[in-house]
Amino acid sequence: MNSRDFKRLFTVAFAALVAVYVFSFHVDSPSWFKPLAKTMPVLMLSMATWRAGRTERTLPLLPLALLLSSMGDLAGDLHAFLWQIGLFAAAHIAYIAVFIRRCSPTKAALTAASALISAAAVYGAYIVPRISVTAESVFIIVYITIITAMAVSAVLQGSRYRWWYAAAAIVFIFSDSCIAWNRYVARIPHATVWIMSTYLAAQYSIARLYLAEKLR
């Protein structure tokens, strides 16, 4: 299969799995079906990116980040919130390792990174005092720090897709910000739609950019 066909199949397969996930909300099904349907789209991204980068001699960190994210999806659907945070934190650390090893900051990138850090600090200062459980607030502080570092490392990398990766990272942050707002501040109408649509768009974009780098 040539690279163009592989990318097309990748997009079609992802769209089909997202459709199955949406379908799972509207049917009576076994208890295992919805968690499986939620896990599969990003798990497929992990498998596809691993296939594309399997010739690398180093640990396939980006596919690993997607794999950890899919496990975080499963933990979230099983209502294991702290496990969900931990798995996604590990995923973002893997993303950081991908981006930071090709760090090549420009003046514009440094400015954007400073803006991201400032925005995250303001949002965190607003959210954290509203968390009643001390252990949970510690997890959230650590997570905000890690996901901000992920976005900053995406901005500072020297890839020609730097700003596309950065945009995907910001969309990811928006999704997680919706989770925090919905959980600690006020219920967001149709929260699942906002959270999952932006989350899946971000993960797909990161994986698709990776394929663009590996399959030319």
pLDDT in tens, 119-178: 999 999 999 999 998 889 999 999 999 999 999 999 999 888 999 999 999 999 999 999
Residues 188-209 have a mean pLDDT of 96
Residue 186 carries which DSSP code? -
pLDDT at 58 over 70: no
How far CA 120 is from CA of 37, 128, 142, in Å, comes to 31, 12, 12
Output phi, psi for 156, to 5 deg. -85, -10
In the chain, domain spans: 3-214
3-class DSSP state of 44: helix
pLDDT at 51 over 70: yes
Residues 190-212 have a mean pLDDT of 95
| Tens of pLDDT, residues 10-49 | 999 999 999 999 998 887 777 888 889 999 999 999 999 9
Looking at residue 72, what is its pLDDT?
96
| Tens of pLDDT, residues 67-115 | 999 999 999 988 898 899 999 999 999 999 999 998 998 999 999 999 9
Q: Which two tokens stand for residue 16?
A: 């089909």
141, amino acid identity = I
pLDDT band for 56, please (50, 70, 90 cuts). low
